[in-house]
Amino acid sequence: MNAKPTPPLPRYRAYDRDTQPEHLYPPYASTVKRAPHEPLLPLQASLSEITGPVFGFERIRANDWDLTRQGKGEPIGERIVVTGRVLDANGRPVPHSLVEIWQANSAGRYPHRRDTHNAPIDPNFFGAGRTMTDEQGRYRFVTIRPGEYPWRNHYNAWRPAHIHFSVFGASFLTRLITQMYFPGDPLLEYDPMFMSVPDPRARQRLVSTFEWEHTIPEQALGYRFDIVLRGRDETPTENPFA
């Protein structure tokens, strides 16, 4: 019996130069010690990276997409809707993909033992959400607008308001970890994480857009944040060596 020929593995498009953060970006202090000093070697992707894992619906709980309904009462802060699409290198929607977010509360504090910032913890806000994209690659979260917070990267360093995103796409190789920012934030140009993406147009891919379409009257402002997992329009990742 003749064995079927193995189909060729899919190839992913490369991103354009300067559209991803520089591994070594001295204003972002932790990259100085952690970034590699030798040129990176390309690794051949094998079937295991390209095929798995894919997470099922059963792991997502009913309220995971609504961060304003995970406690006994309502969290303090301005309610917002964050929605968008997950797209592949060719601009096609990525359906049934796990999207996870995590963020500070409205006072700029994470409920984590290593966050020692003296802003209040909100007992009704845990700062983490998960959902799956639908058939059109869309996701939607309801949450609280996160507060800015200080970090000790340099003197008087403040992070712009941001929401952390992890998107898996079809496999480990398309996993993308990034941060969404808000339009018009005056802290963006002082933020070494944001500024470590050299191309200013690529940086703008990290900034959400305000949208009336997703704004709910008397309830919540709407923001759109589309995520492209690969290729020329790839959303910049977080610096992997920070």
- To the query of whether residue 149 is one of the catalytic residues in this protein, the response is yes
DSSP run (H or E) holding 50: helix 47-51
DSSP-derived secondary structure letter, 75: P
Catalytic residue among 96, 117, 140, 164: 164
- To the query of whether residue 117 is one of the catalytic residues in this protein, the response is no
Distances (CA, A) of 151 to 14, 29, 87, 197, 198: 33, 11, 32, 19, 22
Catalytic residue among 15, 25, 28, 110: 110
- To the query of whether residue 110 is one of the catalytic residues in this protein, the response is yes
Catalytic residue among 109, 145, 159, 214: 159
Catalytic residue among 15, 149, 181, 223: 149
Alpha-carbon dihedral sign for residues 171, 172, 174, 177: positive
Distances (CA, A) of 234 to 40, 88, 174: 20, 8, 10
- To the query of whether residue 164 is one of the catalytic residues in this protein, the response is yes
- To the query of whether residue 155 is one of the catalytic residues in this protein, the response is no
Distances (CA, A) of 31 to 6, 26, 37: 41, 7, 11
Catalytic residue among 130, 162, 203, 205: 162
Residues carrying an active site annotation: 110, 149, 159, 162, 164
